C-alpha cells in the first residue's frame, strides 16, 4: 500500500506568518512559463473535463 497523503497542511509560527504574508501580498510575480500555462489551462477549462 502506498503511503497516506495528508490532506491538511497545518502551519504554525514563522511558517504561518510567511503564509499569511503571501496571502496578503497584493500580487505575485509569475514566470512567463507559468503565465503561458495558466492561459492554456483557462482555455482548456472551457472544454475539459
Partner 1 sequence: MTIDIYSLVFSKLSGDSDVSSFACSDSKDLEDFLRNDAKTRQQEKISITYLVHSGTDLVGFFSLSMGCITSDSVKKMSLKIEDPPNKYPALLLARMATKDGLRGQGIGREMLKHVFAIAFKLTEQIGCRFVKVDAKRDPRAIRFYENYGGFIKITQNSETIQMVVDLNKIDDEENSITV
Q: Which residues of 11-41 are buried (b: 16+ CB within 10 A; e: fewer)?
A: eeeeeeeeeeeeeeeeeeeeeeeeeeeeeee
Q: How many residues belong to the site for partner 1 (CB under 8 A)?
A: 39
Q: Which of residues 14-33 bind partner 1 (CB under 8 A)?
A: 15-20, 22-24, 26-28, 30-31, 33
CA angle at 27 for the pair 25 and 33, rounded to the nearest 5°: 135
- CB 49, min distance to partner 1, A: 7
The residue ranges that bind partner 1 (CB under 8 A) are 1-3, 5-13, 15-20, 22-24, 26-28, 30-31, 33-35, 37-42, 44-45, 48-49
Amino acid at each position: 500500500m502506498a503511503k497516506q497523503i495528508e490532506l491538511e497542511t497545518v502551519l504554525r509560527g514563522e511558517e504561518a506568518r510567511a503564509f499569511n504574508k503571501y496571502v496578503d501580498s497584493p500580487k505575485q510575480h509569475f514566470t512567463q512559463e507559468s503565465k503561458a500555462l495558466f492561459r492554456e489551462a483557462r482555455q482548456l477549462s472551457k472544454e475539459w473535463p
